[in-house]
Amino acid sequence: MMHDKEYYSKLGFKCGLEIHQRLATAEKLFCKCSTNAQGDLVIARVERRQRAVAGEMGRIDRSTSFESSRGRKFVYSVFNMSSCLVDIDEEPPHEVNREAVETALMFASAFGASVPDEIEPMRKEVVDGSDPSAFQRSMMVAYGGEISAGNSRIPITSIFLEEESSGIERTEGNTVFYSIDRIGVPLIEIDTAPSISTPEEAKAVALAIGSALRLTGKKGEHGISGGAMRGIGTIRQDVNVSISGGTRVEIKGLQEVELMDLFIENEVERQRRLIEIQKKLKSRGAEVSRMPKDVTSLLSKASGKVISGALSSGGIALAALLGGFSGLLGEEINPGRRLGSEISDYAKMAGVNGIIHSDEDLSKYGIGESLRLEINNAIGALSSDAFIIIVAEKAACSAAIEFALSRARMSLSEVPPETRSVADTKLGTTRFMRPLPGGSRMYPETDSTPIGVSREYYESIKKQTVYPSERIERLNSDINNRQIAGQMAMSPKLQLYEYITSKVKGVNLVVATTLLEKMKELERSGAATETDRGVLVEIFNKYASGKITKAAIGEILRLSPKSPDAVDLIIKEHSLAKMTKEQLIREVKSIESSGGKDIIKEIMSKHRLNVDGDELSAIIGVGK
């Protein structure tokens, strides 16, 4: 259902991106903990509560006040090496990590952005528990700049340096479990202007920003070091979408950029349908009741397990009238999602499983036609009306129905501004996460001091920066093979390649193909997963100095030496040394004298790993 540019322009489509990229620094942004949590152990679990507090301007933000009203409990896993008291909100932050600030400024320069004279660390209030301090430290490091993707140039509005939040482990009822090992890892956020004109363009812009982040690097003694961390989960995309008559909705945490256009198309469609429903509701004079009714005794007649299970464990059933909503709760607004699903999402925020509504097939809950009529009578519903029912423990049920009714009420007047998360990756659908936050949740980080950025400082950072075009140019000329150079530019092994080739000269193409092809093959087969970079330098040194053949490189890697010293030992034990010219001549002569015909074939079949084919050809005088 791809539409053209005109279609989106007519709808008043607006779209902007927020790209989040973890930085490849050794330490976290405001403490000395390692950013590498691999193999770390949980040493404690800490339980906390959070509540909404006023921002700097004295107002409580709608998103935080909503989260706070859910009254949830948070349990944090505390780690040995990758978390400390700062991460669990038991110690003020340390000095800001200069490496992270400089990396952020380096990226700012890659987008041609301007930097303020002073960076002001702020607290962005988040009370969903993802941060034990109930805020994320965040600072605006640059504004302005742009990104080109194909023929379009999209302005970059702002660039932020902030702390990564914690990873969610699981949710049990009203308790959410988080791991704080990755909290505080420096993250850069790149925001574009909302001037993207189609879903496909959004995807292209996201790819262009991602590639700029991967390819911008810093000159150093060990070659170029990239500023961006690589690997799964290190880059995330948030998309902001709106259409005329709709509102700005943020879709959070898209990890696969390939599916971005599908999500955007669906969001456009969702808003379009919600606007249509809104019009219908208006013309019907629809109304949402403010008085839910207890229908526990009525529903005790329902035979379905869902209802009887909840009631028998002490739950209650509340029903509410949605006047004039008949048929509209069941209207599909996205694949597999209805207005009913939207209302259900809000109810779930109170910890219930969802809602039952009158546009559903009620027989699956064991509600027959006569019971439906009784419910209608109890709440005063006519055939043009709809109802929703929630069955759950009393407190949760009362809170849930209020949340649900507030969403139903919104459908009369607006597409609510929301932050949404992925509901179904394949279908490209989303679900309500929390109200869209505003500026009220910002507060100065009083525990740290402003960071001055003089013009000279910014210039000195620019001088050390290697920009994407320059890096690609350099790869092209070093590798001398455009295809391999292009692959290397996109590869997670780029930094490793640059490290090795800063140490070993003249074998760039072999290093590149080994890393791109051989290593991948070995990794896939389970051998040589994480080879030490010192070992790789040693192996390529042996090759560059003619001690081993190209064919032997893969064999040595397969035997996975644990240290550079072990490389020699493996070469000796497995007879992987390259034959010297003298040995080769002797071998050729001995085969000639025993009447061998295809000398090359015979030697290569015996000594494949020890003989350089070109050298052999040269010796027996058969040029290629």
Partner 1 sequence: MYSAEVQGILSKLGINVGDSISVALGSDFQEGILMPRSGAGDSSILIIKRKDGYNIGIRYRAGMRIEKTASGKPEFSFPSSGVAQGPGLPKISMIYTGGTIGSKVDYSTGGVYMLTKPEELLHEVPELGGIANVNISNLMSIASEDMTYIEWAKIAEETAKALNGGARGVVITHGTDTMHYTSAALSFMLKGLNSPVVITGSQRSSDRGSSDAFYNLICSCIAATRSDVAEVSICMHSSSSDDKNNLIRGTKARKMHTSRRDAFKPVNNHPICTIDEHGMIEYISEYRHALDKPKDRVSAITGFEPKVALLKAYPNSDPAIIDYYVNKGYKGIIIEGTGLGHVPSAPSIAGLSWIGGVKAAVDSGVVVGITSQCLYGRANKSVYRNLRLLSDAGAVHCEDMLPEVAYVKLGFLIGNYGMEGAAKMLTTNIAGEITARTEFDFPVG
Is 240 or 508 the residue whose CB approaches partner 1 more closely?
A: 240
Please enumerate in sequence order all residues whose Cβ is within 8 A of that of 114, keeping only pairs 6 or more positions apart, or say none.
Answer: 142, 143, 144, 145
The tokens for 241 are 């979408």
Is 5 or 59 the residue whose CB approaches partner 1 more closely?
A: 59
Q: What does the alpha-carbon distance between residue 44 and residue 179 come to, in Å, rounded to a whole number?
A: 11
Q: Of 129-137, 349-357, 590-598, 606-614, which segment contacts partner 1 by CB under 8 A?
A: 129-137
Q: Of 42-50, 397-405, 487-495, 506-514, which segment contacts partner 1 by CB under 8 A?
A: 42-50
Q: Does 270 bind partner 1 (CB under 8 A)?
A: no
Q: Of 52-60, 271-279, 537-545, 565-573, which segment contacts partner 1 by CB under 8 A?
A: 52-60
Q: Does 118 bind partner 1 (CB under 8 A)?
A: yes
Is 59 or 581 the residue whose CB approaches partner 1 more closely?
A: 59
Q: Find the angle CA(82)-CA(433)-CA(446) to the nearest 5 degrees.
A: 50
Q: Does 92 bind partner 1 (CB under 8 A)?
A: yes
Closest approach of partner 1 to the CB of residue 454, in Å? 9
Binding mask 63-82 for partner 1 (x = CB under 8 A): -x---x--------------
Q: Does 566 bind partner 1 (CB under 8 A)?
A: no
Closest approach of partner 1 to the CB of residue 264, in Å? 22
- The SS3 of residue 588 is helix
Closest approach of partner 1 to the CB of residue 78, in Å? 8
Q: What does the alpha-carbon distance between residue 257 and residue 232 come to, in Å, rounded to a whole number?
A: 12
Among residues 16, 93, 132, 428, the one that binds partner 1 under rule CB under 8 A = 132
Q: Of 12-20, 23-31, 84-92, 359-367, which segment contacts partner 1 by CB under 8 A?
A: 84-92
Which of 315, 303, 316 has the alpha carbon at shortest distance from 363? 303
Is 134 or 147 the residue whose CB approaches partner 1 more closely?
A: 134
Tell me if 419 sits within 8 A of 63, measured CB to CB.
yes
Tell me if 533 sits within 8 A of 500, measured CB to CB.
yes
| DSSP, res 171 | E
Q: What are phi and psi of 138, to 5 degrees?
A: -150, 145
Task: Map tokens 């349990």 to a residue.
Answer: 75
Among residues 3, 34, 36, 48, the one that binds partner 1 under rule CB under 8 A = 48
Among residues 40, 144, 306, 378, the one that binds partner 1 under rule CB under 8 A = 144
Tell me if 489 sits within 8 A of 497, measured CB to CB.
no
Q: Does 112 bind partner 1 (CB under 8 A)?
A: no
Say how many Å lie between the first and final Cα of the chain, rounded.
Answer: 55
Q: Does 51 bind partner 1 (CB under 8 A)?
A: yes
Closest approach of partner 1 to the CB of residue 32, in Å? 16
List the interface residues with partner 1, window 157-176 (CB under 8 A).
158, 160
Is 124 or 293 the residue whose CB approaches partner 1 more closely?
A: 124
Tell me if 553 sits within 8 A of 608, measured CB to CB.
no
Q: Does 89 bind partner 1 (CB under 8 A)?
A: yes
- Burial annotation 423-450 (CB, 10 A radius, 16+ → b, else e): beeebbbbbbbbbbbeebbbbebeebee
The tokens for 367 are 């509600």
Q: Of 60-68, 204-212, 215-223, 302-310, which segment contacts partner 1 by CB under 8 A?
A: 60-68
For residue 556, which amino acid is it? I
What does R_g of the chain's alpha carbons equal in angstroms?
Answer: 31
Among residues 15, 84, 119, 375, the one that binds partner 1 under rule CB under 8 A = 119
Binding mask 424-463 for partner 1 (x = CB under 8 A): --------------xxxxxxx-xx-xx-x-----------
What does each C-alpha distance from 10 to 85, 111, 165, 197, 258 come to in angstroms?
Answer: 53, 30, 38, 11, 25
Among residues 24, 101, 106, 134, the one that binds partner 1 under rule CB under 8 A = 134
CA 197 centroid distance within chain: 23
Q: What does the alpha-carbon distance between residue 424 and residue 337 come to, in Å, rounded to a whole number?
A: 10
Q: What does the alpha-carbon distance between residue 121 and residue 125 come to, in Å, rounded to a whole number?
A: 13
Helix or strand (DSSP H, E) at 270: helix 260-284
- The sign one gets for the Cα dihedral 590, 596, 599, 602 is negative
Closest approach of partner 1 to the CB of residue 117, in Å? 4
Q: Of 45-53, 98-106, 314-322, 522-530, which segment contacts partner 1 by CB under 8 A?
A: 45-53
Tell me if 251 sits within 8 A of 430, measured CB to CB.
yes
Q: Of 8-16, 124-132, 560-568, 579-587, which segment contacts partner 1 by CB under 8 A?
A: 124-132
Closest approach of partner 1 to the CB of residue 405, in Å? 22
C-alpha neighbours within 13 Å on the C-beta side of residue 256: 9
Among residues 5, 32, 112, 114, the one that binds partner 1 under rule CB under 8 A = 114
Number of residues in contact with partner 1 under rule CB under 8 A: 58
Which of 411, 427, 341, 417 has the alpha carbon at shortest distance from 14? 417
Among residues 20, 124, 203, 214, the one that binds partner 1 under rule CB under 8 A = 124
Q: Does 26 bind partner 1 (CB under 8 A)?
A: no
Q: Does 87 bind partner 1 (CB under 8 A)?
A: no
Closest approach of partner 1 to the CB of residue 410, in Å? 24
Q: Count the helix, strand and coil residues of the chain and give each as a percent rounded to the nearest 5.
A: 40, 25, 35
Is 247 or 583 the residue whose CB approaches partner 1 more closely?
A: 247
Residues making contact with partner 1 (CB under 8 A): 44, 46-60, 64, 68, 85, 88-92, 114, 116-120, 122-125, 127, 132-135, 138-140, 143-144, 158, 160, 438-444, 446-447, 449-450, 452
